[in-house]
Chain A
């Protein structure tokens, strides 16, 4: 087993997941795909014109293409194909509205990227119908962060046009597995941009890796590794690569979940008999036992206010979601519909809960509105699991199967938009969407 700090990804890895859209070299692009399978009925038409470039050599990344891909993946936008653009303006003076009205473009995004030491993108968005500029701004950062700067521009444009904060400048953790016939598989804990680009292997092991999760500030991750021969929870700093083993108890050590204030971690241990939820104070490693029941109690997750935990328990005979109130210790059952509801994740609004829900023998991702108690099944495939919500609450990333291979897929919380992120080889599973990341 070896573990790696964030080094530039080896794109030759056959396992490497999905970049988006057009601009990568052909040899790389062959491995990497995002397939939008369902969008909204009336997406907003937006033209993202290739950015002008002022800097040494060619632009490091086609930033307009990255933004184009982000907006398309949201399902709420229909980007105009470059071949259909009657002009390629990069400044306001070059914008002729009639050209864009002719192609029924509703919004126009133009920009200029430059590099003089740091990289900088200046951009403007125009409302073609009203013939007005609706947004202008810039993003700046290190030269190697061209893709991240482009995602930040996409975030600004998305927020301006939808009223919802963008979550493109975020990252994904997931586990990819390369099968070995008659031997132990390779497990790779992988970090990638929200569009699957720039995958980086953080940890490789011949023993299982699972349950990756983020600290609330996005600087650290935790996961379960069997590298010691038994399951143990590890914590790892993304910037330094430094890591430490948090638990080494007899039995299960699993389901790490940071508290919203970052000071504690909920987890599942079976050291006292059956699996129960505990909370570890990360400063002194002291444990507080949360549940005490002979049933399976697992998959804890914090409500955004930190005042209660959700967890899965089969204390009623079948797995259902329960809540635990920290102050009172009260436990309440949350889900009633169906015979299998598990692994809840909660949106930052504290209202939309996504979970794994069984119906007619199949496992789907469902959304439970905690205010109306309405349960809506979002997916139609059979073996869906590990839902993870974007920090803006708009999309749910999850794992499913295509044939006998594990792939990642995403669905909007209203079920209207769907896309898949199949890997070219091997299995991918257990996606964990990062929180908003600091700059």
Chain B
């Protein structure tokens, strides 16, 4: 996610540079060299852009960047209540931001469901999946194609907080959104 965004900015930058150089009217050898270099840079930028467009299915845009930043500000972890897979109001706000961004691209994503340590491990594997699917279903209903989403449950196997008590449990009851490309 991060490196794609940087690549996008780079493409923009190269384009701007190439455009400015190409527009300046000049006839000196030095300037011709510069123009040739700029043309080469522009070609490289086009190639990079095409590659990126092919990969992500959407060109970079300022609006996309804004949506990406908004989603990032919400974070990619959504929290749940005990033995619950219901989305909290906070999770819905965060998900809405992610969905808005995901609609601007074709990225695939992985939803990793987790639980706290209470209850049995196998039940928690199922509960983690239920949480991941709860997030998936909300995304699909709101316009993210289901084929882009993979759900996986780790149950209680991957805690953030190892200790017992609600402060640890609360941070372990979660779904993490991971962008794959």
Q: Does A48 contact B (CB under 8 A)?
A: no
Say how far B78's CB is from chain A's closest CB, in angstroms: 19
CB < 8 Å neighbour of A299 from B117, B120, B127, B162: B120
CB < 8 Å neighbour of A270 from B126, B155, B162: B126
B127-181: which have CB < 8 Å to A?
127, 129-130, 151-155, 157-158, 162-164
CB < 8 Å neighbour of B119 from A211, A231, A363: A363
CB < 8 Å neighbour of A296 from B123, B154, B158, B164: B123
| B residues near A356, Cβ cutoff 8 Å | 119-120
Contact B125 A254 (CB under 8 A): yes
| A residues near B117, Cβ cutoff 8 Å | 383, 401
Contact A298 B164 (CB under 8 A): no
A313-347: which have CB < 8 Å to B?
314, 319, 340, 342-343
Q: Does A67 contact B (CB under 8 A)?
A: no
Say how far B156's CB is from chain A's closest CB, in angstroms: 10
Which residues of B approach A to under 8 Å, CB–CB? 117-123, 125-127, 129-130, 151-155, 157-158, 162-164
Given the known interface contacts A208-B154, A404-B163, the answer about A385 and B121 at a Cβ–Cβ threshold of 8 Å is yes
Contact B163 A299 (CB under 8 A): no
Q: Which residue of B lies closest to A187 (CB)?
A: B157
| A residues near B164, Cβ cutoff 8 Å | 382-383, 401, 404
A223-257: which have CB < 8 Å to B?
226, 229-231, 251-252, 254-255
| A residues near B126, Cβ cutoff 8 Å | 252, 268, 270, 274-275, 296, 298
Q: Does A220 contact B (CB under 8 A)?
A: no
Q: Does A312 contact B (CB under 8 A)?
A: yes
A275 to B153, CA, bound (A): 12
| A residues near B122, Cβ cutoff 8 Å | 210-211, 254-255, 268, 298-299, 312, 343
Which residues of A approach B to under 8 Å, CB–CB? 179, 208, 210-211, 226, 229-231, 251-252, 254-255, 268, 270, 274-275, 296, 298-299, 312, 314, 319, 340, 342-343, 356, 358, 363, 382-383, 385-386, 401, 404, 429-430
Q: Which residue of A lies closest to B121 (CB)?
A: A210
| A residues near B119, Cβ cutoff 8 Å | 319, 340, 342, 356, 358, 363, 385
A275 to B151, CA, bound (A): 13
CB < 8 Å neighbour of A230 from B118, B120, B152: B152
A327 to B155, CA, bound (A): 33
| A residues near B125, Cβ cutoff 8 Å | 210, 231, 252, 254, 275, 298
A144 to B129, CA, bound (A): 46
Contact A386 B158 (CB under 8 A): no
Given the known interface contacts A251-B151, A383-B117, the answer about A343 and B129 at a Cβ–Cβ threshold of 8 Å is no
Given the known interface contacts A251-B151, A319-B123, A356-B120, the answer about A296 and B130 at a Cβ–Cβ threshold of 8 Å is yes
A36 to B157, CA, bound (A): 29
A383 to B158, CA, bound (A): 17
A133 to B126, CA, bound (A): 56
Contact A208 B127 (CB under 8 A): no
Given contacts A298-B126, A383-B118, 10 further A-B contacts (CB under 8 A): A210-B122, A252-B129, A268-B126, A270-B126, A274-B130, A298-B125, A383-B164, A385-B121, A386-B120, A386-B121
Contact B151 A298 (CB under 8 A): no
Contact A385 B120 (CB under 8 A): yes
A208 to B156, CA, bound (A): 10
A385 to B155, CA, bound (A): 14
CB < 8 Å neighbour of A251 from B129, B155, B158: B129
Contact B123 A298 (CB under 8 A): yes
A152 to B130, CA, bound (A): 47
Given the known interface contacts A299-B122, A312-B120, A363-B118, the answer about A275 and B154 at a Cβ–Cβ threshold of 8 Å is no
Contact B157 A208 (CB under 8 A): yes
A314 to B127, CA, bound (A): 10
Q: Which residue of B lies closest to A184 (CB)?
A: B158
A358 to B123, CA, bound (A): 14
A430 to B158, CA, bound (A): 16
A159 to B119, CA, bound (A): 36
